[in-house]
Amino acid sequence: MSENLAYTNQLPIEINDTKSMTTLSLQACLIRMFTEDNRKRIMKPRFQLIACAALAVTLQAPLHAAESSDSKPTAKLKLPQKVLWAWKRPEDLSQIDPHKFGVAYLACHVFLEGENVKWQSRNQPLKLPPHTVVVPTVRIDVARREKPALSQQQLEKLLRLIQKAASAPNTAQVQIDFDALELERGFYRSLLEQLRKKLPASMPISITALASWCLFDNWIKDLPIDESVPMMFSLGPERDKILRYFRSHRDFIDERARRSLGLSLEDTAVNELMLPITRKRKIPVRVYVFTRTAWTEKKLQAVDSMLSKL
Q: What are the pLDDT tens digits along the chain (310 aa)?
A: 223 333 222 322 222 243 333 334 333 333 333 333 343 443 444 433 333 333 333 443 332 333 334 566 764 799 999 999 999 999 999 999 999 999 999 999 999 999 999 999 999 999 999 999 999 999 999 988 889 999 999 999 999 999 999 999 999 999 999 999 999 999 999 999 999 999 999 999 999 999 999 998 889 999 999 999 999 999 999 999 999 999 998 999 988 999 999 999 999 999 999 999 999 998 999 999 999 999 999 999 999 999 998 8
Structural domains for the chain:
29-306 (3.20.20)
Check residue 11 and give its pLDDT: 27
Sorted by sequence, the CB contacts under 8 Å of residue 70 that are 6+ apart come out as none
The CA distances from residue 124 to 161, 175, 300, in Å, are 18, 19, 20
With contact defined as beta carbons under 8 Å apart, do 170 and 133 qualify?
A: yes
Task: Give me the pLDDT at residue 71, please.
Answer: 60
What is the distance between the alpha carbons of residues 220 and 14, in angstroms, rounded to a whole number? 39
Count of C-beta atoms within a 10 Å radius of residue 267: 18
The pTM score is 0.80
Cβ proximity of 165 and 107 under 8 Å: yes
CA nearest neighbour of 41 among 155, 143, 183: 143
- At residue 49, the pLDDT reads 34
Residue type, 112: L
**CA within 13 Å, CB half, 32:** 15
* Contact of 233 with 262, CB cutoff 8 Å: yes
Neighbours of 243 (CB within 10 A): 17
Q: From CA 66, how far away is CA 21, in angstroms rounded?
A: 8
For the chain, the average pLDDT equals 81
